[in-house]
Structure 1
Amino acid sequence: MVKPLPFIKNHQYNFIKKQVDLLERACNSVTDPKVVESVRYSVHFNILEAFPDADELQKQLLEKVAMLRTEGEFRHYLRSLEPYLAEFPVVTGKQLAKLFPKNKKLKLPDFAAIDYRYVTYLGWVDIATHKLFIVYRLNGRLVGIEGRYIPTNKSVCFLCNRHAEVALFTTVTKSKPANASPDYYKAIGNYLCVDSEVCNKNMTDVTALEKFVREAVGTHES
């Protein structure tokens, strides 16, 4: 049996789940068939639009959403997509040490607890040093960001746009203006989920994450 070729990234899977939930709620609560069909068309369109590079077989798999009507069908559809989830690269302690060479006592995440199918970015905290770490694959290359975090009250995370327990995460950007002096220093920051697992479950778009990563590591590659 040929193994399915993964093509659905974590944030895309979360987007699909959100769209499926919209359609399921419409099927369960809306009595006007025209309204339900309008939602069905919108969900179908939105999901396909999220995969502009999908081939015909992949489109056929995604388009099955238009046929869903019962609770069992909705659940089965989401389960049928799981073999197509594109995992985040499995990382090792050595790889992380290379990404954060200045941190000689780097606290590592709990690798055993990570399900890489549901990871958009790898994030963890070191409570002892009040540091937060992010690892992301940008343009095919793993990059690491290290910064300070200050826990705050609940607010909206800039990555997943959900109201959650967040921290103010700040890091020194490596991006410098052309005429910058050697001692140029600029910190960037934003409110980020303290629990990256929760954040990864809610992320449906990587635009804000990639913008932040590019600014932090000093690259403007597209």
Structure 2
Amino acid sequence: MDIFLQNHQYNYIMRQGRLIMSTIRTCTDNQVIETFKYSAVSKVLDACPGLSEEHQQLLKRLGDLQTAEELQLYLDKILQCTFKFPAITETRLQRLFPKVKKLSMPDLTEIDERPLTYFTWMDTATNKHYLVYYRQPQPSKEAAGKLVGIQGQYTSTNKTGICAFCKKTGDASLFSVRAKTRSAQSPDYYRSVGQYICLDSKVCNTQITELDALESFIESVSR
């Protein structure tokens, strides 16, 4: 089966599918239901640009679903069309963070190449927070995808907050990164960029539906 969806796009399709099911359960006006379905499918196609006609037709089937059981079967099918995270090894992580002499390794068995947008882990001994993101191939740029590693500082908030990446409320932590760009206003001549993000990146990966905030954050600390 063709692989053409990214994790955040799969999440968006799932969200729209659940909204359709909710509308079917709570609305008795068939015209309203069909209008909502049309709108949901249009939003899905807008969130997945550049697809072939065959792939578009597969996504349009979302509007034909009538039950939660049909939705689950449909989601199981398109999950098989979703990119898995690249295989990660300790050697590959060390290459992403060459300046870290004793890199604390995450449990790589938990990654298992499942659909992910990014993953993070923490070194509790040093309060270091590591983020690895896979940037999909860009037709106008690189021919292949690229792994990006970001090292920052972890600060626990011990309270709920809104994640900058998935825009959902939950347990959050402050991820602060010293950007490469020098700034005369900073005592050490470097900018500090911080975002509140989900404490559990597994949860965030099931909720994130767009990449703008994540891409913007990575770009701001990589310049």
In the superposition, the TM-score normalised over structure 1's length comes to: 0.91
- Match of residue 188 from structure 1: 193
Structure 1 window deviating more from structure 2 (87-96 vs 132-141): it is: 132-141
1:107 aligns with 2:86: no
Counterparts in 2 of 1:137-148, with a 5 A limit? Answer: 137-138=134-135, 140-148=145-153
Task: Work out the percentage of aligned pairs sharing the same amino acid.
Answer: 38
- 3-state DSSP of counterpart to 2:180: coil
- Match of residue 133 from structure 1: 130
1:81 to 68, 78, 82: 78
- Match of residue 42 from structure 1: 39
| CA offsets 1:118-139 (integer angstroms, 9 cap, x no match) | 2101211111211111011236
- Match of residue 151 from structure 1: 156
| CA offsets 1:153-208 (integer angstroms, 9 cap, x no match) | 1100100111111111101001347x999x62111001011111011111001100
1:216 aligns with 2:221: yes
Structure 1 window deviating more from structure 2 (103-112 vs 13-22): it is: 103-112
| CA offsets 1:46-87 (integer angstroms, 9 cap, x no match) | 111112211011111111111111222111111111210111
- 3-state DSSP of counterpart to 1:202: coil
| CA offsets 1:98-135 (integer angstroms, 9 cap, x no match) | 11112111111111111433210121111121111101
Structure with greater strand percent: 2
1:173 aligns with 2:170: no
- Match of residue 18 from structure 1: 15
- Match of residue 5 from structure 2: 8
Q: Following the alignment from structure 1 to structure 2, what is the Cα–Cα distance between the partners of residues 23 and 108?
A: 41
Name which structure has the greater RCO, CA cutoff 8 Å, separation 6+.
Answer: 1
In the superposition, the TM-score normalised over structure 2's length comes to: 0.90
Q: Once the 2 structures are TM-superposed, how far is the Cα of residue 18 of structure 1 from its aligned partner?
A: 0.3
Equivalent pairs, count: 213
1:57 to 54, 63, 79: 54
- Match of residue 119 from structure 1: 116
Q: Following the alignment from structure 1 to structure 2, what is the Cα–Cα distance between the partners of residues 42 and 115?
A: 35
| Letter aligned with residue 57 of structure 2 | Q
CA contact (8 A) 1:156 1:191 kept: yes
- Match of residue 90 from structure 2: 93
Q: Following the alignment from structure 1 to structure 2, what is the Cα–Cα distance between the partners of residues 69 and 50?
A: 22
Q: Following the alignment from structure 1 to structure 2, what is the Cα–Cα distance between the partners of residues 192 and 70?
A: 34
- 3-state DSSP of counterpart to 1:165: strand
Unaligned runs of at least 5 residues, structure 1: none
- Match of residue 142 from structure 2: none
Q: Following the alignment from structure 2 to structure 1, what is the Cα–Cα distance between the partners of residues 3 and 171?
A: 32
- 3-state DSSP of counterpart to 2:204: helix
| Letter aligned with residue 103 of structure 2 | L
1:198 aligns with 2:203: yes
Q: Once the 2 structures are TM-superposed, how far is the Cα of residue 216 of structure 1 from its aligned partner?
A: 0.9
